[in-house]
Amino acid sequence: MGEMKNIYLAIVLAPLFGAVMAGLFGRQIGRAGAHVVTIAGVAVSTVLSLYALRTLMQAKAAGLEYVFNETLYTWLVTDGFSFHVGFLVDELTVVMMSVVTFVSLMVHIYTIGYMKDDPGYQRFFSYISLFTFAMLTLVMANNLLQLFFGWEGVGVVSYLLIGFWFKRETAIYANLKAFLVNRVGDAAMVIGIAGVFFVFGSLDYAQIFPRVGELNGLAIEVFEGQPWSMATLISISLFIGAMAKSAQFPLHVWLPDSMEGPTPISALIHAATMVTAGIFLLARMSPVFELSETALSMVLIIGAITAFFMGLLGLVQNDIKRVVAYSTLSQLGYMTVALGASAYSAAIFHLMTHAFFKALLFLGAGSVIIAMHHEQDMRKMGGIGRYMPITYLTALVGSLALVGFPGFAGFFSKDAIIEAVKVSHLPGAGLAYWAVLSGVLVTALYSFRMFFMVFHGKPRMDEQTRSHLHETPLVVTVPLLLLAIPSVVIGWIAIEPMLFSGFFGQSIHVDHHHDVLAHLADHFHGAQAFALHGFTQPPFWLMLTGIVAAWVLFLKKPEWAAALKSRLSPVHQLLDNKYYLDDFNALVFAGGLRGMGRTLWQLGDRVLIDGLLVNGSARLVGWSARVVRHLQTGYLYHYAFVMIIGLVGLAWMARSAAL
Amino acid sequence: MNFAVPNFLPALPEIFLLVSICGVLVVDLFLTDEQRWLTYVLAQFALLLTALAVVFGFSGETVTTFGGMFIGDPLSVLLKVVILLFSTVIFLYSFHYLRAGGQLRGEFFTLALFGILGMMIMVSAHNLLLFYVGLETFSLCLYTLVAYNRDAPKGAEAAVKYFFLGALSSGLLLYGFSLLYGTTGTLSIPEMAAVLTAAGADGSVNPATLFGVVFVVIAIAFKLGLVPFHMWVPDLYEGAPTPVTLYLSTVGKLAALGMAVRLLVDGLGPLFVHWQELLVVLAVLSIALGNLVAIVQTNIKRLLAYSTISHMGFFLLGLLTGTPDGYSAALYYMVVYALTGIAGFGVILLLSRKGFEAERIDDYKGLGRRQPWYAFLMMLVMLSLAGVPPLVGFWAKYSVLMSVISIDMIWLALYALVFSVVGAFYYLRVIKVMFFEESPMVQPVSATADMHWTLTLNALALLGFGLIPGGLLDFCRSVWG
């Protein structure tokens, strides 16, 4: 185990080293130096993560002790409580580590091409390496405090990267928005963590999970006479934190705007890794969530709303990245639904496949954007497939994986989720089932709308742009190809071990009343059969309908789409304005808070505190000092008189006390 | 009638000092003005040897002699040692100041030494009469010292005021003593305590005794300079020669502490509940008035005078708890206060020269640029007086406030805390003036090496004792074991 400890340390610290080098010495090491050092750092992490994955699986197969849980550094000890920095590496962690480092490596390489002419080249590399460090700290933590550190770390880097082009007004607005919305979630999350600490007196997973049964029947009266189940309170608080980070309705509003950042980070942070931190958190805390059906139902319903309604928004977007962004929201909704249905493994499975194909789609979109000279409006594209064969092919793979075409990675994970929800008995499962099922149709529709609008049909860009269209350089296409491979094959390989053979072992805990995957396992006869079976199922037909509809509406008969749009103009209006949620937030929360702030500032701060308390007391002190000073007249007989008065006063006091 | 020869050993330091003073006095008669440094050197020797005699003459056991009139106990030893050692530093600062100002005369040292002798008798007295002898020895020297500059009108005025008011307070003290003697029938401090304990067993108390307590408390309050018996303090601080102010405001206060403990704790301890409330009133008034009026002062000596008033209020907080912890905290507070005050006046003395007293706050403008090191030392002094950690002044305030909290008088602790915030204002203003204001004045400062290093050590001790507060505090605690 000692040897593994050094390896884990290296996995975390190598990207940090790269980030520091590129960030602090960027000018000295130059552009090439910056990308060499950061890519080397992440490459080391990737290789070691894969090695860790292999070692762990071998150890597990050999029946050895394979879970690594060690404290590296004691940060603080106070009054019987201690806080540590440490690693817990189990099945869940190694999967996350491998996915994070691999996608991060691809994005690092891709960035060389995408950010080629950007003046902030070194800064960008520094940020994404720093992000990798923070994300690894988060997933490898063996306690909630360190997880929270990583959680905030990725939040900060996300903030920095959304506003990477800090001269753009919209980018600054977007990163502020992301930060503020995440504050809401973090506040709840801190309450959740505090709740755990309150009950268990520790934040170490190894301390919490064996004693999780203590939560049973434990209630707390936050308001008098209203006992709340502690398990529910903790779960819901943590889930609200996860909602902000994983962009679940109604805290999703920051994610579409985060597309203001450069495309590589949209792929890395806002699709593949950071936004899945919430999913990871819930999977990690599964023993607690399993105790509260209320919380699970809430997770299920929020996920269902997000999966379906955010998908609809994807239909009306014209910015290529925003389509992918809404698709991400919708897919995160799927993962959340899986969590709510207690199919944690399915959620992590979908997280993994999604990381690959969504990174692929984002990078593909980025490739198109490079070729189009940073034009992102799909209405100005069309027919690009001819000029960019590799991008075209990989985007097709990504889209098929996204819509869940049988055999592609997304199919396995998404179908597993739909099936799992179908057999769940939790309140809200019926609703969620219909949401994720019809979500399939919506997914197919917006995915292929984008695909057709961008790659097929008549070119709609101006002549000059068209004449310059050509395939992007190798640093862009190679990551695309490397991501396309797992987008196809990972489902075949992973579905059986991850979902049905107990790969996650003790790292995920499912109460046997909720164990929907065990239910599915009875009908599972290998990946091939699962794929073939998929062709006969409603999701397949829905998906096919979606693709065909997209083909008809957006490629063959665009006038139908226009007619539909005018027929359904109120709906379109609603979707175009994103359900008016942004306006609502701006008006009620932002406006209300600003109004309250102004009132408190004027009345409370300026009048009461500054005017009355601060300046008032200073004035009072000054005034009394000037008055009392006049008692010092300088006359001896005054002095003696004051003394005699003092004598009389004290004597009178003593006298009255004695009587 | 047999007359037993008393044991002279416990009083040996006092006897030695008396003989030494007489020696210094005689030697001084034969010196010319150029040779006057010899008086200073001899006075220093007298102080140091006396201090050695105090330390080595004390076995660790409490002893009484002269028929129980004189006591040698840990408190008296500690106070004497601190008084003697601090006096050597004071003499050093004063010598340089007086020589530079052309005011060096032998009387200063001999009078100060006689005063120190008085203080030593005071803190060792175990009988009211002996106590009074010590007190008057000390006071008479002070009256004279205040008028050391015979030609300065302010000095003469301060001396007269101090003399009259001092006489008044002495009279009150004697009256109090007579009342106590009348009701208890004894002048011995421990016997008085025993009589009072016996008489108070049934919960009753003789009103005449109570009035005696009031008079004693007033005399103590006068010596400490507590409101409303403080009126002489600002005038005296300003009018007296700076070395005398320094002498009075530091070792003088230590002697006053001895007076308070001997009379109130040792003698009138059984009447604790009665004098406690008097002290509360005095403390509350002093803390408020001292801090408030200091704000509007433009003269740094007057500022320090009002600051002293508030510090004495703080000192009372420890005393009025009536617990050993509180007494130790009060003792600690007083030692720390004296140490800080010596450093502060040391800087004032250093910056003054012939024909120029660095006593207006404006005189400190731009000191941070002209004399960065001395400005830094002055900053340490001010921060320590304000009670800013990690300086020792913080620990002094802290331990006193903790002792008040431990007897559940939380309102009093809060009150003192609020006023120490108010007080921070004028201390910080001095710092601000030194570092953030410009002055066209170019002021040469010449410090001899011994002055420079003593002052440096003195001020850095504030930081040192602040960083490692344990030793001094434990030392003070050991008095009440």
Q: What is the pLDDT of residues A540-586, one digit of tens each?
A: 888 888 888 888 888 788 788 788 878 888 888 887 777 888 888 88
Identify all chain A residues contacting B205, using CB atoms and an 8 Å cutoff.
658
Number of structural domains found in chain B: 1
Can you give the pLDDT at residue A2?
64
Position B192, amino acid = M
Range of the domain at B235: 9-479
B156 lies within 8 A of chain A by CB: no
Position A196, amino acid = V
d(CA B109, CA B40): 7
What backbone phi and psi angles, to 5 degrees, belong to B323? -115, 155
Per-chain mean pLDDT for chain A: 85
> Residue B3 falls within a domain, yes or no?
no
pLDDT of residue A406 exceeding 80, the answer is yes
**Chain center to CA of B381:** 17
CB contact under 8 A, B277 and A651: no
Q: Where are the alpha helices (DSSP H) in A503-635?
A: 516-521, 527-534, 538-551, 558-567, 569-576, 581-584, 592-599, 616-629
Spell out the residues 6+ positions from residue A61 whose beta carbon is closer than 8 angstroms to its own. Answer: none
Return the minimum-mean-pLDDT range out of A131-135, B88-92, B158-162, B437-441: B437-441
> Which residue has 């209300």 as its token pair?
A592
Each residue of B214-234: pLDDT tens digit? 999 999 999 999 988 998 999
Q: What proportions of chain A, in percent to the nearest 5, are helix, strand and coil?
A: 75, 5, 20
CB atoms within 10 A of CB B463: 16
d(CA A316, CA A294): 34
* Alpha-carbon dihedral A32, A38, A43, A45, rounded to 10 degrees: 170
Q: What is the ipTM of this complex?
A: 0.84
Each residue of A492-515: pLDDT tens digit? 888 887 877 777 777 888 887 778
> Residue B63 falls within a domain, yes or no?
yes
CB contact under 8 A, A653 and B422: no
pLDDT of residue A658 exceeding 70, the answer is no
Of all residues in chain B, the one with the smallest CA distance to A636 is B161
* Alpha-carbon dihedral B140, B338, B65, B17, rounded to 10 degrees: -60
Closest listed residue to residue B284, CA positions, set B221, B204, B213, B193: B221
Can you give the pLDDT at residue B393?
93
User: Cis bond leading into B390, ω under 30°?
Assistant: yes
Identify all chain B residues contacting A650, using CB atoms and an 8 Å cutoff.
214, 217-218, 278, 281
pLDDT of residue A299 exceeding 70, the answer is yes
Dihedral sign from CA coordinates of B463, B467, B468, B474: positive
d(CA A110, CA A121): 13
User: Cis bond leading into A539, ω under 30°?
Assistant: no
Can you give the pLDDT at residue A650?
87
Q: How confident is the model at residue A203 (pLDDT cuts 50, 70, 90)?
A: confident
B268 lies within 8 A of chain A by CB: no
If DSSP codes are grouped into helix, strand and coil, which group holds residue A76?
Answer: strand
Identify all chain A residues contacting B222, using CB atoms and an 8 Å cutoff.
643
Spell out the residues 6+ positions from residue B83 whose beta carbon is closer than 8 angstroms to its own. Answer: B116, B119, B120, B123, B251, B254, B255
Tokens of A468: 């310059």
**Chain center to CA of A259:** 14
Of all residues in chain B, the one with the smallest CA distance to A630 is B293
The fraction of chain A above a pLDDT of 70, given in percent, is: 99
Spell out the residues 6+ positions from residue B276 whose beta carbon is closer than 8 angstroms to its own. Answer: B320, B322
Identify all chain B residues contacting A640, using CB atoms and an 8 Å cutoff.
164-165, 168
Can you give the pLDDT at residue B442?
65
> Residue B2 falls within a domain, yes or no?
no
Return the minimum-mean-pLDDT range out of A92-96, A573-577, A642-646, B409-413: A573-577
d(CA B414, CA B397): 12
Can you give the pLDDT at residue B38?
92
CB contact under 8 A, B277 and A657: yes
CB atoms within 10 A of CB A4: 19
CB atoms within 10 A of CB A471: 15
Of all residues in chain A, the one with the smallest CA distance to B163 is A636
d(CA A10, CA A5): 9
CB contact under 8 A, B231 and A643: yes
What is the model's pTM?
0.63
CB atoms within 10 A of CB B171: 12
Can you give the pLDDT at residue B1?
53
> Residue B203 falls within a domain, yes or no?
yes
pLDDT of residue A539 exceeding 80, the answer is yes
Tokens of B57: 């003459």
Can you give the pLDDT at residue B287?
94
Of all residues in chain A, the one with the smallest CA distance to B159 is A636
| Range A152-159, long-range pairs (CB < 8 A, 24+ positions) | A152/A186, A154/A269, A154/A273, A154/A274, A154/A277, A155/A179, A155/A182, A155/A186, A155/A245, A155/A274, A157/A127, A157/A128, A157/A130, A157/A131, A157/A269, A158/A131, A158/A258, A158/A265, A158/A269, A158/A270, A158/A274
**What part of B 204-223 touches A (C-beta under 8 Å)?**
205, 207, 210-211, 213-215, 217-218, 221-222
What backbone phi and psi angles, to 5 degrees, belong to A68? -100, 120
pLDDT of residue B328 exceeding 90, the answer is yes
CB contact under 8 A, A654 and B422: no
CB atoms within 10 A of CB B2: 3
- Which of A638, A639, A647 has its CB closest to that of B172? A647
If DSSP codes are grouped into helix, strand and coil, which group holds residue B65?
Answer: strand
pLDDT of residue A207 exceeding 90, the answer is no
The fraction of chain A above a pLDDT of 90, given in percent, is: 10
Position B54, amino acid = V
Of all residues in chain B, the one with the smallest CA distance to A627 is B293
- Average pLDDT score over residue span B302-324: 93
| Selected residue with higher pLDDT from A375 and B24 | B24
Cross-strand bridge partners of residue A71: A86
The Cα of B195 is separated from the nearest Cα of chain A by a number of Å equal to 18
pLDDT of residue B137 exceeding 90, the answer is yes
Each residue of B418-451: pLDDT tens digit? 999 888 989 999 999 999 888 776 666 778 888 9
CB contact under 8 A, A636 and B277: no
CB atoms within 10 A of CB B253: 22
CB contact under 8 A, A639 and B232: yes
pLDDT of residue A295 exceeding 80, the answer is yes
Return the minimum-mean-pLDDT range out of A99-108, A217-226, B164-173: A217-226
Q: Where are the alpha helices (DSSP H) in B200-323?
A: 207-224, 232-239, 242-249, 251-260, 272-295, 300-319
Spell out the residues 6+ positions from residue A97 whose beta carbon is closer than 8 angstroms to its own. Answer: A11, A49, A52, A53, A89, A136, A139, A140
B120 lies within 8 A of chain A by CB: no
Identify all chain A residues contacting B209, using CB atoms and an 8 Å cutoff.
none
CB atoms within 10 A of CB A29: 16
pLDDT of residue A486 exceeding 80, the answer is yes
Each residue of A138-193: pLDDT tens digit? 999 988 889 999 999 998 988 888 888 888 888 888 888 888 888 889 999 999 99
Identify all chain B residues contacting A639, using CB atoms and an 8 Å cutoff.
161, 165, 231-232
Longest CA–CA separation in chain A, Å? 113
What backbone phi and psi angles, to 5 degrees, belong to A73? -155, 130
> Residue B312 falls within a domain, yes or no?
yes
CB atoms within 10 A of CB A30: 13
Cross-strand bridge partners of residue A89: A68
CB contact under 8 A, B205 and A658: yes
> Residue B98 falls within a domain, yes or no?
yes
- Average pLDDT score over residue span B178-200: 91
pLDDT of residue A1 exceeding 60, the answer is no
Spell out the residues 6+ positions from residue A528 whose beta carbon is closer than 8 angstroms to its own. Answer: none
Question: If interface means Cβ-Cβ distance under 8 Å, which residues of chain A face chain B?
Answer: 621-622, 624-626, 628-629, 632, 634, 636, 638-640, 642-643, 645-647, 649-651, 653-655, 657-658
pLDDT of residue A80 exceeding 80, the answer is no
Closest listed residue to residue A44, CA positions, set A153, A170, A161, A136: A136
- Average pLDDT score over residue span A430-448: 88
> Residue B1 falls within a domain, yes or no?
no
> Residue B4 falls within a domain, yes or no?
no
- Average pLDDT score over residue span B243-255: 93
Closest listed residue to residue A196, CA positions, set A214, A208, A179: A208
Interface size between A and B, measured as CB pairs under 8 A: 80
Element containing residue A471 per DSSP (H, E):
none
Contact between A371 and A388 (Cβ < 8 Å): yes
Contact between B236 and B247 (Cβ < 8 Å): no
